[in-house]
């Protein structure tokens, strides 16, 4: 333990948050603090010149839960962020929010006047996951953020998600075939690693891009994002005072093709690391590469037949294979449409909840913790309207969650969200709130 550690190495520092009673803690931390790393005065070797470790407070599992982010000082292409998430985020799930505001989440829109307490129950977990994604500095390239959880529960957590489908037969009908098969593939890989004849292999670290697909909390955040987009589109169609030209119309006026103007995503290297008798583990970039790819058999057979008949050149083959790979992303069972064309209270309420969860950082559990941890104060249900939402945070997370695609349609969504922010700011918002509100 910490006591024995300090007996052998008295100069070692034991870190913990200011609200947790960490045994023999030598240095108390708050949100945004950086750890003082070792330095060798004789060799003039100072680790603080090369790497930094930031404390990110994510209260929920406990009131003092913290994630440590280890980053390179000289951030560039290929640099990784190492997130030590403790009991907040596991591969495939997250820790139970033991010390969040229990019970407040039960007050629904029909019984509580539409109040939202964003620090309650699972809302807390979702906000903490969003905060970890934002503070990883890997929103644009989540394959560069490695997740080191406090426990290795991967196989169990993934298995639980499939067990849920037994009690709720319609559960997986809400997802695309690709999502289901990615989950099944990762469960197979995880279970295989844990039961090898020659010994177990670790299923961690994970990577943020993989968790985006297999972690139920990130999938819930994605559903929140879809609620926001649905409400924004409805607002724009019925209530927006300004109509803005679509990005496709702008492109046509510029005389440029959408393909040339679209931002290209960074493609991963296909050369996998080859294990040997002395080296068995993968490179960091291998973690984010999918093990299986799902396609429809009928589409594959059609392409094979056309190749046999000489009806496709190499470019056509490449385009068809790309389209075939992405076709399983489309959900098979559609959702029941909302009757009528007018906004419903459920739609607007869900969008407001989503904005509170996605658009604001985690808050402390108490007012005193807020001062000690350098976190926002908890907001009472009656003061829901005082939750400050960051436009940049909303756009960053909606892009990270793949709710806003990197297409002309995605650019239109961004423009409409910005327009909503502008018009909302012109309607009934005080100068004091506008001055203190995050951008």
* Chain segment 210-269, per-residue pLDDT in tens: 999 899 999 999 999 999 999 999 999 888 888 888 766 665 555 555 444 443 333 333
How do residues 257-309 score in pLDDT, each as one tens digit? 544 444 333 333 344 445 454 444 556 666 667 777 778 888 899 999 999 99
Place of tokens 């809400």: 174
pLDDT at residue 157, rounded to an integer: 94
What are the b/e assignments for 414-435, b being 16+ CB within 10 Å? ebbbebbeeeeeeeeeeeeeee
The confidence score (pLDDT) of residue 284 equals: 62
Helix (H) or strand (E) holding 145: strand 145-149
In this prediction, residue 163 carries a pLDDT of 83
What's the pLDDT score for residue 104? 45
pLDDT of residue 110: 47
pTM, rounded to two decimals: 0.81
Quote the pLDDT of residue 259.
44
pLDDT of res. 261 = 44
DSSP helix/strand/coil, 349: helix
Run means of pLDDT, 10 residues per run, the chain, 439 residues: 91 92 93 90 82 94 94 74 95 90 50 59 89 91 92 93 72 77 89 84 90 92 94 90 76 52 38 48 64 82 91 89 83 56 77 92 91 90 82 95 91 94 74 55
What is the rounded distance in angstroms from the CA atom of residue 392 to the CA atom of residue 397?
9
Where residue 60 falls (left for φ over 0; alpha for ψ -120 to 50; beta otherwise) is left
Contact of 157 with 92, CB cutoff 8 Å: yes
Cis peptide before 205 (omega within 30 of 0): yes
pLDDT reported for residue 271: 47
C-alpha–C-alpha distance, residues 403 and 219, integer Å: 11
pLDDT value of position 430? 52
C-alpha 223/C-alpha 228 separation (Å) is: 9
């Amino acid at each position: 333990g910490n006591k024995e550690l300090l007996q052998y190495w008295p100069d070692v520092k034991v870190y913990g948050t200011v609200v947790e009673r960490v045994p023999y803690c030598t240095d108390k931390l708050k949100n945004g603090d950086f750890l003082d790393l070792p330095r060798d005065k004789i060799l003039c070797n100072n680790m603080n010149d090369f790497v930094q470790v930031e404390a990110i407070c994510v209260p929920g599992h406990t009131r003092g839960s913290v994630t440590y982010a280890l980053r390179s000082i000289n951030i560039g292409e290929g640099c990784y962020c190492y997130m030590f998430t403790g009991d907040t985020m596991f591969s495939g799930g997250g820790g139970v929010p033991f010390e969040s505001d229990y019970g407040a989440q039960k007050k629904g829109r029909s019984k509580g006047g539409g109040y939202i307490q964003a620090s309650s129950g699972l809302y807390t977990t979702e906000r903490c996951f969003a905060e970890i994604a934002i503070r990883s500095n890997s929103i644009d390239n989540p394959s560069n953020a490695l997740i080191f959880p406090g426990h290795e529960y991967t196989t169990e957590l993934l298995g639980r998600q499939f067990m849920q489908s037994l009690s709720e037969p319609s559960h997986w009908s809400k997802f695309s075939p690709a999502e289901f098969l990615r989950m099944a593939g990762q469960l197979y890989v995880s279970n295989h690693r844990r039961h090898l004849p020659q010994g177990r292999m670790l299923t961690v670290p994970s990577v943020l891009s993989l968790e985006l697909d297999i972690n139920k909390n990130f999938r819930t955040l994605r559903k929140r994002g879809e609620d926001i987009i649905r409400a924004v589109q409805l607002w724009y169609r019925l209530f927006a005072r300004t109509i803005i030209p679509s990005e496709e119309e702008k492109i046509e006026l510029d005389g440029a093709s959408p393909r040339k103007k679209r931002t290209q995503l960074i493609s991963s290297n296909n050369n996998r690391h080859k294990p040997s008798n002395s080296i068995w583990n993968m490179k960091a970039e291998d973690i984010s590469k999918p093990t299986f790819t799902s396609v429809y058999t009928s589409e594959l057979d059609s392409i094979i037949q056309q190749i046999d008949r000489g009806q496709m050149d190499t470019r056509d083959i490449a385009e068809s294979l790309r389209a075939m790979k992405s076709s399983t992303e489309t959900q098979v069972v559609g959702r029941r449409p909302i009757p009528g064309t007018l906004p419903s209270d459920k739609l607007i309420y869900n969008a407001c909840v989503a904005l509170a969860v996605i658009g604001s950082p985690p808050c402390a559990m108490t007012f005193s913790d807020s001062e000690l941890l350098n976190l926002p104060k908890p907001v009472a249900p009656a003061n829901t309207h005082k939750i400050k939402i960051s436009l940049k945070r909303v756009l960053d997370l909606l892009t990270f969650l793949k709710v806003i695609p990197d297409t002309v349609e995605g650019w239109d969504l961004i423009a409409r969200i910005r327009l909503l922010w502008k018009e909302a700011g012109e309607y009934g918002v005080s100068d004091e709130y506008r001055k203190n509100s995050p951008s």
